């Protein structure tokens, strides 16, 4: 993990931009802490890190205020990273189906989401390796983020993850339902009830599929980006319960 810049934000939060191999990312930590702080992996929405930065830094500041560190990375295929093979075709197929009022087939969803999941999950594991090597970071690990299939697979395969906040707002490939059954860590799932681009029934089915003994679905009125502040605070309390 190569730190490329470092600044102290006004509320005692240190923001470090880094690269891990080809992957750019950002790490937020408390300016001072008496003991190692548990990390939260802040997986961004699939819109590129620079566009997602304002909401990510808000969540990171809250995480640090609660006694955690937070880290995010540019997802494969976004920002300045090379586009994923097939992504352009899959995106075109999706737009064509939606414009024609046709159902979005499983084949389109698989082509759109799975190449991203296949690459992002091992990248998050590499980031986690690097984070846990840092002297000020340690303890149980949280995951919070968009693209629910990434979080689902990471929770299924990565034993160091202790708790996850998932955002049900993207297409769900069939394999994600199978992977969900293997997830056993506590989950807090956010669903925006009026998210026009989201398949609400698929989100409810996925919530049902998770194998976790503690899982909460917090569904709120509003569109994709309209998660109410109180619902964000609930998600923070979920981490406080499970990572502190």
Positions touching a copy of itself (CB under 8 A) are 193, 204, 207-208, 212-221, 228, 230-231, 234, 237-238, 241
Conformational region of residue 17, where left means phi above 0, alpha means psi within -120 to 50, and beta covers everything else = beta
Question: Which CB sits closer to a copy of itself, 29 or 152?
Answer: 152
Closer to a copy of itself at the Cβ: 29 or 144?
144
Give the nearest distance from C-beta 183 to a copy of itself in angstroms.
Answer: 12
CB of 190 to a copy of itself, least distance (A): 11
Shortest reach from residue 233's CB to a copy of itself, in Å: 8
Nearer to a copy of itself, 81 or 200 (CB): 200
Q: In the complex with a copy of itself, which residue's Cβ is closer, 12 or 193?
A: 193
Q: Helix 106-133 vs helix 174-181: angle between axes, to the nearest 10 degrees?
A: 50
Q: Taking the complex as a whole, how short is the minimal distance between the CB of residue 217 and a copy of itself, in angstroms?
A: 4
């Amino acid at each position: 993990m190569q730190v490329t810049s470092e600044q102290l934000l006004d509320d005692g939060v240190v923001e470090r931009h880094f690269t891990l191999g080809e992957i750019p990312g950002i790490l937020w930590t408390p300016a001072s802490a008496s003991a190692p702080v548990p990390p939260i992996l802040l997986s961004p929405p699939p819109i590129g890190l620079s566009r997602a930065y304002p909401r990510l830094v808000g969540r990171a500041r809250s995480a640090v205020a609660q006694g955690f560190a937070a880290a995010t990375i540019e997802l494969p295929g976004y920002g300045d990273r090379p586009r994923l093979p097939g992504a352009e075709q899959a995106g075109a197929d999706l737009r064509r189906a939606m414009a024609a009022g046709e159902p979005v087939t499983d084949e389109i969803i698989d082509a759109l989401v799975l190449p991203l999941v296949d690459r992002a999950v091992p990248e998050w594991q590499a980031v986690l390796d690097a984070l846990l090597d840092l002297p000020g970071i340690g303890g149980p690990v949280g995951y919070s983020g968009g693209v629910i299939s990434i979080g689902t697979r990471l929770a299924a395969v990565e034993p160091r993850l202790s708790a996850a906040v998932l955002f049900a707002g993207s297409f769900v490939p069939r394999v994600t339902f199978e992977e969900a059954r293997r997830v056993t860590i506590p989950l807090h799932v956010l669903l925006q009830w009026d998210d026009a681009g989201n398949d609400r029934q698929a989100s409810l089915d996925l919530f049902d599929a998770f194998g976790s003994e503690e899982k909460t679905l917090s569904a709120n009125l509003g569109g994709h980006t309209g998660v109410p502040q109180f619902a964000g605070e609930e998600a923070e309390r979920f981490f406080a319960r499970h990572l502190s």
